[in-house]
Amino acid sequence: MTGNSPDFTVSLRAAGLRPTRQRVALARVLFEGGHRHVTAESLHAEVKATPMPVSLATVYNTLNQFRDAGLLREVVVAPGRSYFDTNTGHHHHFFVETDGELHDFPSDEVTIAGLPAPPEGTRLSRVDVIVRVRR
């Protein structure tokens, strides 16, 4: 270890996942920079160009595992395709419908008041605000 990149081996193990070369490669692409929104296809295209290419099946498996482990959150804004979000904190999204781009905005700038009580027998899971815009 050269000492200047986060140790994904540790975080993967902490998440109950073996730090395989493929998972470490994907973790690097996903978490090394700032927050990101990727699709399986876009992530696959990116990782294919690295010294550790990963099959599309593994990209799907890994995105689902990372999501289940709480390392990613899944965002559904458009029919037929899922986005995965490296920002797992509280925040909301702009969705640019004309080109499929997602942008974060912090949820503490926004006040949502007067939400009705959840239907009988249900408990709150999450509140998503999606601001749809077009160019």
Residues that bind a copy of itself (CB under 8 A): 74, 76-82, 94, 96-97, 103, 105, 109-116, 118-119, 121-135
Binding mask 60-89 for Zn ion (x = CB under 5 A): -------------------------x-x--
CB of 52 to Zn ion, least distance (A): 26
**Residue placing its CB nearer to Zn ion in the complex, 58 or 84:** 84
Tell me the three state secondary structure of residue 77.
Answer: strand
* Two structure tokens written together for 131: 């601001």
CB of 81 to a copy of itself, least distance (A): 8
| Phi and psi at residue 22, to the nearest 5° | -65, -45
CA 24 to each of CA 8, 41, 46: distance values in angstroms, whole numbers, following the listed order: 6, 18, 14
Residue in this structure with the two tokens 């999501």, named with its chain if needed: 67
**Residue placing its CB nearer to Mn ion in the complex, 51 or 80:** 80
Give the strands of the sheet with 37-38, arranged side by side: 37-38, 81-85, 73-78
Contacts of 22 (CB under 8 A, 6+ apart): 52, 54, 58, 62
* Two structure tokens written together for 54: 């990963």
CB of 63 to Zn ion, least distance (A): 15
**Residue placing its CB nearer to a copy of itself in the complex, 18 or 135:** 135
* Two structure tokens written together for 49: 């160009």
19 is in the binding site of which of DNA, Zn ion, Mn ion, none (Cβ under 5 to 8 A by kind)?
DNA
Tell me which residues touch Mn ion (CB under 5 A): 64
Chain residues in the site for Zn ion (CB under 5 A): 85, 87, 104
